[in-house]
Amino acid sequence: MEALLGNERLKSGLAAAFASDRLSHCYLLAGPEGSGKHSLARILAAAMECTEGAKRPCGHCLQCRKVLDGVHPDVITVDDPAKKTVTVEQIRQARADVYVKPNEGRRKIYVIPRAMDMNPAAQNALLKVIEEPPDYGAFLLLTDAAERLLPTIRSRSVTLRLSPLTEAEGLKALAERCPGKDPDARAAAWARSEGWLGQALRLLEAGESLAPETQSFAERFARRDKLGLTELLAPLERQKREQLIPLFQQWIELLSQALAVRAGQPGRWEAAERVGRSRTSGEALKALRSLQRALALLQGNVSPGAVCGALQVWLDVQE
Ligand SMILES: [Zn+2]
C-alpha cells in the first residue's frame, strides 16, 4: 500500500474493503499520466491474490511477490502497445480466457492499461463479461478519461479516482527518489508537474537536455519556417499521448524562457535565447497559449492526431 503515495482517503477506503474481503470484480482506476494508476493496480491485484488473512496485501507471501514482480500467471495484461486501440478481438480473447479457472491464484485478474482506447465494440464485449463474471474473475480498467467509457461500464465498476500529491509530499518523494539532483531542479520539475509524481520524475529525468524535436521546434519557430513546422508536427500525430505530453511541456518551457529573454532576463537554454531574439513577445505568447491549449486537450480525451492537426493551424496563425 506504501507504493502509492498520498491518496490517504482512497487508501483507507481500500484497506477497509481488503480487511473484510469486500472486493468488487471491476475497478476503474482514473487519473492522468504519472498519477499512480499502475501502482494502484498492482496493489489491488496483490490484495486480491494475497493469502495472508490479516492485512492484505501483505507484500511478502508468494502470491503477493509474484504480483508485485509482474510474474503472476493469473494477472493478465490486455494490451498490445503496437496497436492504436484496444480491439474487440483482444477483449473477446480475455472473455474466453476468464472462464478457464485460475492457475494458482484465488482470482484471475485482467488489467486493461489503456481502457480509454477501447472502441465501442470492445467496450460492449467487455460489458457482457463484467455483467456476469465467474466468481474469481476481476477487471482493472486504467484510464485517464473515465467519461470515454460507456455509462453502463462505469455503473458496474467501482471508480477509484487518484488525487494529486501536496507540494510537501511531492518534494519529499522527489528528494528520496532523486537524491543526486539539485534541489532547485527538483523544485522546478515539481512546479511543472501539476501534482503528479510520475510527471515530475519524467521532467526531472529529461532535465536540461532538450529533445531533438524541441531543438527543431525552436529553430523553425525562430526563423518563421511555416513549412518546417508543419513537417515537424505531421509525424508527431502518430506518437502516443504519453510521449507528446512531456514534449509539449518542454516547448511550453522553451517559450516561457523566450518571453523572459524578451523581458531582459537570461534564458537557461540557448534555444530559448534564439527564439527570444527572433520573435516578438506577442508572437511567443500566442504560441505559448496555443501549446497550453494543445496540452490541455491532450491531457483530456482528444487524440494526438487531432491535437497536432489543430496545433498546425494555431501556430500557422502567427505567421
Ligand atoms: Zn500477501
Instruction: Give 18-70 pLDDT, tens digit per residue.
Output: 888 888 999 999 998 889 998 899 999 999 999 987 788 999 999 999 998 88
Whether residue 201 has pLDDT greater than 60: yes
3-state SS string over the chain? CCCCCCCHHHHHHHHHHHHCCCCCCEEEEECCCCCCHHHHHHHHHHHHHCCCCCCCCCCCCHHHHHHHCCCCCCEEECCCCCCCCECHHHHHHHHHHHCCCCCCCCCEEEEECCHHHECHHHHHHHHHHHHCCCCCEEEEEEECCHHHCCHHHHHCCEEEECCCCCHHHHHHHHHHHCCCCCHHHHHHHHHCCCCCHHHHHHHHHHCCCCCHHHHHHHHHHHCCCHHHHHHHHHHHCCCCHHHHHHHHHHHHHHHHHHHHHHCCCCCCCHHHHHHHHHCCHHHHHHHHHHHHHHHHHHHCCCCHHHHHHHHHHHHHHCC
Report how far Cα 229 is from the mean position of its chain's Cα atoms: 27
Ligand 1 mean position, distance from CA 311 (Å): 48
Residue indicated by cell numbers 455483467: 131
Ligand 1 mean position, distance from CA 74 (Å): 15
| Cβ-contact 173, 165 below 8 angstroms | yes
Q: Could you give the CA distance from residue 233 to residue 26 in angstroms, rounded to a whole number?
A: 38
Ligand 1 mean position, distance from CA 44 (Å): 11
Ligand 1 mean position, distance from CA 48 (Å): 9
| Cβ-contact 28, 159 below 8 angstroms | yes
Residue indicated by cell numbers 492484505: 56
Q: Could you give the CA distance from residue 30 to residue 198 in angstroms, rounded to a whole number?
A: 15
Ligand 1 mean position, distance from CA 61 (Å): 4
Ligand 1 mean position, distance from CA 65 (Å): 7
Ligand 1 mean position, distance from CA 41 (Å): 15
C-alpha cell of residue 114: 489503456
Ligand 1 mean position, distance from CA 69 (Å): 13
Ligand 1 mean position, distance from CA 110 (Å): 19
Q: For 268-314, how does the pLDDT look when each residue is reduced to its tens digit (9 = 90+)?
A: 677 888 898 888 889 999 999 999 999 999 988 889 999 999 998 88
Please measure the distance between the N-terminal and C-terminal CA atoms of the chain and give it in whole angstroms: 52
Ligand 1 mean position, distance from CA 100 (Å): 23
Ligand 1 mean position, distance from CA 202 (Å): 31
The confidence score (pLDDT) of residue 271 equals: 82
Ligand 1 mean position, distance from CA 104 (Å): 14
List the one residue out of 67, 85, 78, 73 whose CA is nearest residue 129: 78
Ligand 1 mean position, distance from CA 46 (Å): 7
Q: Could you give the CA distance from residue 157 to residue 140 in angstroms, rounded to a whole number?
A: 9
| Cβ-contact 160, 27 below 8 angstroms | yes
Q: Could you give the CA distance from residue 71 to residue 291 in angstroms, rounded to a whole number?
A: 40
The confidence score (pLDDT) of residue 69 equals: 82
Ligand 1 mean position, distance from CA 66 (Å): 10
Share the mean pLDDT of the chain. 89
Ligand 1 mean position, distance from CA 3 (Å): 14
The confidence score (pLDDT) of residue 318 equals: 41
The confidence score (pLDDT) of residue 92 equals: 95
Whether residue 76 has pLDDT greater than 90: yes
Q: Give the mean pLDDT of 100-118.
A: 94
Ligand 1 mean position, distance from CA 25 (Å): 19
Ligand 1 mean position, distance from CA 54 (Å): 9
| Span of 192-206, 210-224, 247-261 with lowest mean pLDDT | 192-206
Q: Could you give the CA distance from residue 112 to residue 86 in angstroms, rounded to a whole number?
A: 9
List the one residue out of 215, 231, 191 whose CA is nearest residue 270: 215
Ligand 1 mean position, distance from CA 39 (Å): 16
Q: For 140-160, how does the pLDDT look when each residue is reduced to its tens digit (9 = 90+)?
A: 999 988 888 999 999 999 999
